[in-house]
Structure formats: structure tokens, C-alpha cells
Amino acid sequence: MKYLIFFVLLLLTFSCGNSTKYGYYQDIPAQEVDKRIYPLSLVESDKNIDVLFVIDNSGSMNNIQQNVIKNSKIFLEQFAKQPYINWKMGLISTDKADAPYIGFDTPFDYSLIDYRDPTSLDKTVEQFQNAVSKLGTNGSGSEYIFYNVKRVLDLFDGRSPGHPSFLRQNSHLVVIMISDEKEQSMLDFGPSYDAPVFAKNLSSYIAGNKILRFYGALSRKDLPGCNLPGDDEPYAGSQHEAIIKLTRGFNISACIPDFGTELAKIGKDIASLVGLPSLLLKQRPIADTIKVYYKNKLLPPGRKESGGIWFYEESTNTINFYTMDFVQDARNDFFKIEFDVDDGNTRN
């Protein structure tokens, strides 16, 4: 019996000598350093944004349309070049009988950008410019932005042949209104097109955790640089202003010389709707040992205002990036990430 007791004590001593600080036996050697390659395709974010342009096609819109055409590149490059944003765009007019001009029958989206081909953005911009030119200024003198948004989204809902859904699941929805006339949908189609009612109804078209946002590039008599008749409806108190405020967007004057810079602000705000791109780590690191490399260049961590490009979030075990502007080829490049593994073993 005393030999049996001695054997049990010996076994317990051996087991204790191999326990971790968590109190259980591990027969797998500790991996002190994790060094892995993470393709950029693994970067995750809340990245789907559907953008719908509604441009007035009445006879007085030539100058404003030309401004949009001239500045479309500075607008698009605010988000179209971001490798973590899956954008999609469509273009419709304010004419209640018009078919869409781009982005509905076939997608006009992020897949057109080839990061290995610098000319791909220019080609994409040209497609949009041509669509705006085709939209033209021969449309109706009655402007139905709200009615047309609903009409076209209902038509292209994916339920009938030849009408694929414009809206994607789990996408934010952005509507950009460009016009020099008042919004007339409620006047001609009833109270369901009053801004608060319409915004609530349109919100039901997207997932509950996604954002609906309206922007304007409008010409109204009380906006900077606009020279409209005094009896015309002002922006203040209009249906345009109401829906922009309800959805936390903003308006820019379509009459100012620096229209391109202001249009770019809308593009930049659209980009801000998506969550920060993040990368889930395979193991849990000791935070202050993490090193992130892109093309063998060490990327600085820390606060954005101090020059940092990324930070580690312990609760999600992710590397989060403030920007991906430095990425050259989102589909083929990769990150190299190194760190000491937090496996419960004490390091010397």
C-alpha cells in the first residue's frame, strides 16, 4: 500500500510541474511567436454602400449637369478607390416615366476598379459621365425625386425577369439629389411622399442596422451663389431640407464655383459610413508585441492623429485600420503580422 501511495504522490508532482497558470495539463509545447501572412481578402468591414443619384433632367439643368460631369472623378475617388468599400451606384432622372441610366440592368460597382490598372478608375468615371450626358435636359418640367426613387427601387427588386435588385442585403443606402426645382412628389402623389413618412417607408427597404442618408446638390434662391426668382421656393423649410435633416446628410449649393470640392465632401462622407476595416487574428497576442507589415514596411500603430495606421482591439481580437489608402492591390496583396502569443506561459 505504501508503494501505491508513493506512486500517486509522484504522479501528482509530475502533473503539477506541467500545469499552466490556468491549472490544467498541456502536452502541446507553447508557441512563443506567431508569424503569419494574411491576404487582404480577409479584411472585414461593414462595407456595402448602394449610392443612387437622382439628377433633374429638365431644361434648366445644363450648367449643373456639366458641373457634375466635370467633377465626377473627384467625387468617385473619395470612396471608389478604397479597397474595403464595396460600392454600387445607380443613376435615375426626376422624370416619372424615365428608365434608369446606369447601374440597374447591369451593375455599376467596385468590381470595375482594377488596382493593378491605374486607368480603370478613369474608365469607370467616363462611364458615369456618359450616363449623365445621356440623361440630358429634355425631361419633364415636373421634378419627382421621392416618387422616382421608390418607383425604380420597386421596379428593380429582383422579383421579375430582367429587373435584378438594385439594393443589396446588408447595404447602406445613399441618395444624392441634384436639382434646381422644388420636390413635387407629395403635391402630385399624396402624403405618403411627405419627407418624414417617405423616409420611414424607405428605411424599411434596408436592414435595420444600416444607414439611410440623403444628400443634396441643389440650386435654391437662399443658397450661396444662386440667382433664382424671389418667388421660387427656398431650401429652408423645403422637402429637400426635411429629408436631409431626418437622415443626417447635408446639402451643398449647386451654384458655387468650387462645386467640385463640395461634391468631394459628399463622397468622403459616404466613405465614412462603413466601419473600420479589421483583420481577425488567429491567436491572441501580447498586445505590445504586435508588428504589422505591408510590402515589408512596418506600419505604425497608435492613434490616428499621432500618425498611427492601425490599433489592436482586445475584445474582438482584431487589428483595425484607420485607412487603407496605402494599399496598392487589394485583391492580391497581403499583410505580415508578428506577435508573441498570450498563451499563459511566462516569458523570460
278-288 pLDDT per residue, tens: 899 999 999 99
Chain-centroid distance, C-alpha 59? 33
| 6 domain residue, yes or no | no
Last residue of a domain, one of 252, 271, 290: 271
Rounded to an integer, the average pLDDT of 245-273 is 95
| 322 domain residue, yes or no | yes
Chain-centroid distance, C-alpha 293? 25
Rounded to an integer, the average pLDDT of 295-324 is 92
Rounded to an integer, the average pLDDT of 343-347 is 65
348: containing domain:
28-45+276-348
Same domain, 77 and 108: yes
| 295 domain residue, yes or no | yes
d(CA 249, CA 338): 41
- Angle among Cα 37, 42, 46 to the nearest 5 degrees reads 150
pLDDT at site 25: 32
Same domain, 200 and 307: no
| Phi, psi for 58 (deg, rounded to 5) | -80, 170
Last residue of a domain, one of 271, 292, 325: 271
Residue 132 reports pLDDT greater than 90: yes
Q: Which amino acid is located at 268 in the chain?
A: K
Same domain, 253 and 303: no
pLDDT at site 21: 36
Rounded to an integer, the average pLDDT of 292-299 is 95
Q: Name the residue with cell 473600420.
A: 276
| 8 domain residue, yes or no | no
Same domain, 91 and 204: yes
Residue 33 reports pLDDT greater than 70: yes
DSSP string, 210-261: S-EEEEEEE--TTSTT----TTSPPSTTSHHHHHHHHTT--EEETTSTTHHH
- How many structural domains are present in the chain? 2
Same domain, 248 and 299: no
Same domain, 244 and 127: yes
| 300 domain residue, yes or no | yes
Q: Name the residue with cell 443589396.
A: 168
Rounded to an integer, the average pLDDT of 46-75 is 95
Last residue of a domain, one of 215, 237, 271: 271
Same domain, 334 and 348: yes
> Residue 228 has which C-alpha cell?
433664382
d(CA 328, CA 238): 44
Same domain, 218 and 320: no
Q: Which amino acid is located at 260 in the chain?
A: G
Rounded to an integer, the average pLDDT of 292-319 is 93
Q: Quick check: helix, strand or coil at residue 144?
A: coil
How does residue 142 score in pLDDT terms, banded at 50, 70 and 90?
very high
First to last CA, the chain: 42
Q: What percent of the chain has pLDDT over 90?
A: 71
* DSSP tally for the chain: helices H, then strands E: 8, 12
Strand partners, 297: 294
Residue 23 reports pLDDT greater than 50: no
> Residue 286 has which C-alpha cell?
501580447
Residue 5 reports pLDDT greater than 70: no
Q: Which of 28-32, 176-180, 220-224, 242-246 has the lowest mean pLDDT?
A: 28-32
> Residue 303 has which C-alpha cell?
492613434
Same domain, 219 and 345: no
| Phi, psi for 163 (deg, rounded to 5) | -130, 70
Of residues 169 and 292, the one with the higher pLDDT is: 292
d(CA 57, CA 134): 10
Closest CA to 304 of 315, 316, 320: 320
pTM of structure: 0.77
Residue 266 reports pLDDT greater than 80: yes
Same domain, 118 and 265: yes
Residue 204 reports pLDDT greater than 60: yes
- Angle among Cα 251, 245, 232 to the nearest 5 degrees reads 60
| 3 domain residue, yes or no | no
Helix, strand, coil distribution of the chain in percent, nearest 5: 30, 20, 45
Same domain, 69 and 112: yes
